[in-house]
Amino acid sequence: EKLQLKPGESVTLMPGDWHAFWGDGGDVLIGEVSTVNNDETDNIFCEPIGRFANIEEDVDPKHLLVSD
């Protein structure tokens, strides 16, 4: 089932619910808050992914944070 949220909306998922996020037709800022878990054993991904993105030093930011 696909759930489409409007700006400012949120959703609560129950533990064990498989989910994916993406922007449909534009840029989005997505945040996920989780209960305490073990990243090595509690997170299951459909496709293998790295834990953290690579950092390119001295590259102009695409999006600024509030503190920037």
Domain limits for position 3: 1-68
pLDDT of residue 60: 87
- Exposure pattern of 8-34 as b/e (b: 16+ CB <10 Å)? eeeeeeeeeeeeeeeeeeeeeeeeeee
Residues 31-49: pLDDT tens digits?
Answer: 888 888 887 787 778 888 7
Mean per-residue pLDDT over the chain, rounded:
83
**Number of domains the chain is built from:** 1
The model's pTM is 0.51
Which residues in the chain show pLDDT less than 50?
none
pLDDT of residue 29: 82
CA distances from 47 to 20, 31, 50 (A): 11, 20, 10
